[in-house]
Structure 1
Amino acid sequence: MEKEDNSNKNNNIKQKNEDKQEELNEKQKERKYLITRNLQEILGEDKLVKQIITGKNIHVYWGTATTGRPHVGYFVPIQKIADFLRADIRVTILFADLHASLDNLKSDFELLENRLLYYEYVIKALMTALNVPLEKLHFVRGQSYQLSEPYTKDLLRLSSLVSLRDAVRAGAEVIKQMDDPLLSGILYPLLQALDEQYLKVDGQFGGLDQRKIFILAEEQLPRIKLGKRFHLMNPMVPGLTGSKMSSSEEYSKIDLLDDPDVVSTKIDSANCPSIESGIDNGVLAFYQHVVFPIIGGSIIMNNQQFCDFPSLQNAFKEELIKEDELKNYLKQFLNGILAKVQENCFNTPEFKEILSKAYPKVSINNDDFSKLCVNKLEEKISSVVGPFGDKFEPPQE
């Protein structure tokens, strides 16, 4: 009976959204399309549609905790932010430095300042490389308001309503999980919910991994009379190994400052299984979520023209396009954009010093990465057959 009631409720919401969609004029429909295209999920779509109809000056925010170094997975939210700006939405980018200090085993207070500066440099450089107009964006540092008395009082009010179980569950996808979790990590979802109120936004944008935090915000903020916002979620791009792309997993992602040889090595070693295998294909996923949205048109590969991702996916399935052709095009595409990002960064004299202080011993060359790949392979094999008697070494040239 409960499942039936939920189904009826969802159908009613869907019908309500369809009715509101019919109220939109052509210009409003185009605006809604720009706001919602390429998203994985929307919570509170009726609120968004209502604000489009009334002509409200819509304000959303996207937050990023200043922890590990930004990677090419950031192309997805940055490109979506460009869509928001085209739709005449006001966008605030939150550099969540306090969140970073609360996330277990990530940034400590000594690194926060330089990591904040690093994030600001590389994200602005990436936006410039992708032709996102910086003058329309507002950048905010979390500690500029999160340590204020009103914020602290609201945090305490919220903590008196949210159970330990709900807080842990809300942060399960984004917080380092432990058998005995620290209180700091449990506060993380509550802070992210409160940010909506203190940034004075109508909605929050983030990855699908933020969904449980968004639901917590929708359920709990109204209980302390701080309102309910809509939430927009982009899909999560699989890493090169097929799992979630993560700053903390070096072998799964491409750093924005990786040199061309390292980029090529990582792409060459990336998982690119057949579609029939049912295994996540990080290479194809990057075409779907990054290459085609950025190019905004067709691509030519092996003397064939592909107007959209499904046509490329089908060609790979039918073996009209080979794995090495997919990877070679991707190398050229990524290295072209990353060259612009790196030029924008290193043209600033103080950037190298900020980098060295924010991420000591950050460099990784081709030999380092090859050893890393070998070590990961050893770990995988050892988990099945037990440890090697002798250390496995790569073949010598």
Structure 2
Amino acid sequence: MSTEAAPKVEEISEKTKEARDLILRNLQESLGVDKLTKQLETEGKVVHVYWGTATTGKPHIGYYVPMRKIADFLKAGLKVTILFADLHAYLDNMKSSWELLKFRVIYYECVIKAMLQSLDVPIEKLYFKKGTEYQLSREYTDDVLRLTTQVSQRDALRAGAEVVKQVESPLLSGLLYPLLQALDEQYLKVDGQFGGVDQRKIFILAEEQLPKLKLGKRWHLMNPMVPGLTGSKMSSSEEDSKIDILDPPERVRSKIMGATCSREQLDNGVLAFYNFVLFPIVSPEAIKISNQQFFDFDSLKQAYLDGKLDENALKTVLFDSLDNLLAKVRNTCDNDVVKEAKEKGYATAVETEKTPAPEDPTPSLSAEQQSWKSLIENGSEILSGAELDRALSTVSSSNPLHVMFVAHGKGKFHLGFVAPLLKIKALKEAGIPVKGTVLVSDIEAFLDNEKVAWGAVQARAVYYKEMFLSLIKQLKLEDVVKIQVAADHEKYFDKDYVLDFYKMASAVTRDETTTCEGSALSGNLVPLIYSLNGHIHRPDVLIIGNDSKNIAELSARLLRSFGYPAIAHIAIPTIPGCNGQKMSCSALDFLLDPLDTPKQTKTKIAKSFCESGNLDGNVAMQLAELVVFPLLNGTPLSIQRAPDNGGDISVKNYKELEHEFVTGTNNIQLHPADLKNSVVEAINGLFNGIRADFADKARLKLVADAFSTSKGKKK
């Protein structure tokens, strides 16, 4: 047994020492004993500890080991909360319905109370709590999200190594479980947690990570792992390794008499029960076997090793002792409440959660609808085309096509965000009945390596919303496109949303959800949030960049797997930054910020790659194709140049511009500097209106607030 030393400086009372010794006896390890001792010595303080169990299989006699310790806690005057982790049970491959789990919780509570009463323990300070009473709340979920940014995938995997099944690519839920267990300490308002030594790494994670979020540090008490009757860990899911608490006496006898109890293998359930259950019960009295008296486990074990105790005699006394306890439990539980709970809680669950909804037949599109589809596909790639066909088949002037784009405010607002709006504008100009939504969802920016500080999430959303409003005004799309902040939706992170979040985490692996750079576990949550936001808003089409098709495909699979319709996506080209790579919120030297001065915009574009006659990686030509000509919407692009360079020209479309740049009229190629000047003029023409909108101090303050570095609780 490994236990931290008690405080050496301050003397403690005999009463405190007795309580502490009772609390710590038979534990394998204890962390934070000094804090526990100080709490026990504090006048008027009722020390509070919790123990949790997932309500999956039926409680078995292995539960007597933690119950024996809980009995010690109660006798020592501690307040004890037993947590029924019904959310964890539900997410265990969705084997149980909520209806079954409701009755299982009743069954667990009745059986556990009866077990403690069989040990003659007062239970006035015993309390029960269901995980779903608080684990689906927004406040709890916020803390889960905050914690995931502090914990790496590797650390989360290591924390759950002893309690979560280890596979090459673990389920995302398996990485989240240790974090939830750590947070339970905060939300149960306990001073410490008790569990098996297999949970040591989870306890260490809690001690290391919760203080970083100002959520406190608790002490932790650990029981040794007790083997089952077959020599392996006693498990609710392994029938041969356990004896259910309400099993009849003949079954109990059969299991015990057939249990593994080799003298060469001391790690067996028979000896373990003497050590951790029977001796603590009878102490200071003796256990009598074959006319021999044993006052402690070590003497009994040695007698057995020396062959002075017969195996059958050892097992017979174990059965007699256990059956005496179990008879009390069976008698207490012999009532209609327990019988109903057992019958209804362990009926065969109908697995409806993972059954995909049957898809409607793909409709035939009219000639007009086919033409709309071709216009949508122009310059884009359609993903989940069947869903698009279904949406188009119902589109009319009174039921326009709903197109949505999700913006994550990871840094400075930039020109790249105009691309989806230009796509919507093009569809409108082509005569397609269309309405658009820009969904500003900045929680993903926090989850992606904290690119926005937690305390600034809402301020960042306001900044992005105002920038989009101004941009939409410049594009004359006010009657078509609206702005929605994700957090303002009534279903955003409500109980159903959070439950679906965990269900999705139980359906995908770590590798499938690794879409962000960096090692933080939070990055794996981004595809889940994206899918759920799409689900609660239900657009007909989502616009994404063509570098994010993997998220669109994952989203479709997740939604379908839980009976929700997938959402069609159109992938559009991304706008390059002045370094030739995708324009990024965080690459300040290369993004085009509408609030930059006209000179700054010109300087950035002037430095971009634009080799004469070369289209490969040519930033100015790409900006012309993806931004300038869509902005002009059929109006020719006027390019001023000196007479020696061929004089001013006007080009109607990108193809003509390409000809001028590569070949040129009369073999006079368009000079890169002249091309860049025309691109700068067009982009500054768009930006000037936004600059004017943000000229007042109130608007500029929105920008400053959006980039606060506060890491406190989101306001």
Distance in 2 (CA, whole Å) between partners of 1:217 and 1:125 is 31
Deviates more, 1:204-213 or 1:107-116: 107-116
Alignment of 1:48-197 (within 5 A): 48-55=36-43, 56-104=45-93, 107-197=96-186
1:186-236 per-residue CA deviation (whole Å, 9 max, x = no partner) reads: 221111111111111111111111111111101110111101100011112
Distance in 1 (CA, whole Å) between partners of 2:130 and 2:269 is 32
Q: Secondary structure at the match of 1:23?
A: coil
1:38-85 per-residue CA deviation (whole Å, 9 max, x = no partner) reads: 111001122112222333321111111111111111111111111112
CA contact (8 A) 1:97 1:141 kept: yes
Q: Secondary structure at the match of 1:134?
A: coil
| Partner residue, 1:266 | 255
One-letter amino acid matched to 2:239: E
Report whether the alignment pairs 1:290 with 2:277.
yes
Distance in 2 (CA, whole Å) between partners of 1:352 and 1:281 is 32
Q: Secondary structure at the match of 2:313?
A: helix
| Partner residue, 2:294 | 306
| Partner residue, 2:19 | 31
Distance in 2 (CA, whole Å) between partners of 1:117 and 1:154 is 29
User: What are structure 2's unaligned runs of at least 5 residues?
Assistant: 350-715
1:214 to 191, 203, 206: 203
CA contact (8 A) 1:104 1:175 kept: no
CA contact (8 A) 2:75 2:122 kept: no
CA RMSD of aligned residues (A): 2.0
Deviates more, 1:54-63 or 1:74-83: 54-63
Q: CA deviation at 1:107?
A: 3.9
Q: Secondary structure at the match of 2:267?
A: coil
Q: Secondary structure at the match of 1:231?
A: strand
Q: CA deviation at 1:243?
A: 1.4
Report whether the alignment pairs 1:204 with 2:193.
yes
Q: Secondary structure at the match of 1:214?
A: helix
| Partner residue, 1:393 | none
One-letter amino acid matched to 1:359: Y
One-letter amino acid matched to 1:246: S
Q: CA deviation at 1:270?
A: 0.8
One-letter amino acid matched to 1:353: E
Distance in 2 (CA, whole Å) between partners of 1:278 and 1:131 is 33
1:13-55 per-residue CA deviation (whole Å, 9 max, x = no partner) reads: 967x4515x6222222112111111111001122112222333
Distance in 2 (CA, whole Å) between partners of 1:105 and 1:181 is 16
Distance in 2 (CA, whole Å) between partners of 1:342 and 1:266 is 17
Q: CA deviation at 1:257?
A: 1.3
Q: CA deviation at 1:105?
A: 6.5
2:242 to 247, 253, 264: 253
Distance in 2 (CA, whole Å) between partners of 1:345 and 1:280 is 32
**C-alpha spacing 1:320/1:140, structure 2 compared with 1 (3 Å):** same
| Partner residue, 2:333 | 345
Q: TM-score, normalised by structure 2?
A: 0.47
Report whether the alignment pairs 1:241 with 2:230.
yes
CA contact (8 A) 2:162 2:199 kept: yes
1:345-375 per-residue CA deviation (whole Å, 9 max, x = no partner) reads: 12x213222212211379xxxxxxxxxxxxx
CA contact (8 A) 1:78 1:127 kept: yes
CA contact (8 A) 2:74 2:123 kept: no
| Partner residue, 1:227 | 216
**C-alpha spacing 1:358/1:178, structure 2 compared with 1 (3 Å):** farther
Deviates more, 1:179-188 or 1:232-241: 179-188
Shift >6 Å, 4+ stretches = none
| Partner residue, 1:42 | 30
1:323 to 311, 320, 324: 311
* Structure ranking higher on relative contact order (CA contacts 8 Å, 6+ apart): 1
**C-alpha spacing 1:37/1:265, structure 2 compared with 1 (3 Å):** same
Deviates more, 1:53-62 or 1:185-194: 53-62
CA contact (8 A) 1:102 1:188 kept: no
Deviates more, 1:125-134 or 1:317-326: 125-134
One-letter amino acid matched to 2:12: L
| Partner residue, 1:388 | none
**C-alpha spacing 1:172/1:103, structure 2 compared with 1 (3 Å):** farther
1:259-290 per-residue CA deviation (whole Å, 9 max, x = no partner) reads: 1111111111111111xx24522211111111
One-letter amino acid matched to 1:241: T
Report whether the alignment pairs 1:359 with 2:359.
no
**Number of residue equivalences:** 345
Q: Secondary structure at the match of 1:316?
A: helix
User: What are structure 1's unaligned runs of at least 5 residues?
Assistant: 1-12, 363-397
| Partner residue, 2:626 | none
One-letter amino acid matched to 1:211: R
Larger Rg: 2
1:297-355 per-residue CA deviation (whole Å, 9 max, x = no partner) reads: 20111111111111111211221111010011111111111111111112x21322221
Distance in 2 (CA, whole Å) between partners of 1:350 and 1:88 is 30
Deviates more, 1:182-191 or 1:217-226: 182-191
Q: Secondary structure at the match of 1:160?
A: helix
Q: Secondary structure at the match of 1:31?
A: helix
Distance in 1 (CA, whole Å) between partners of 2:167 and 2:54 is 19
Q: Secondary structure at the match of 2:215?
A: coil
One-letter amino acid matched to 1:50: K
Q: TM-score, normalised by structure 1?
A: 0.82
One-letter amino acid matched to 1:293: P
Q: Secondary structure at the match of 1:273?
A: coil
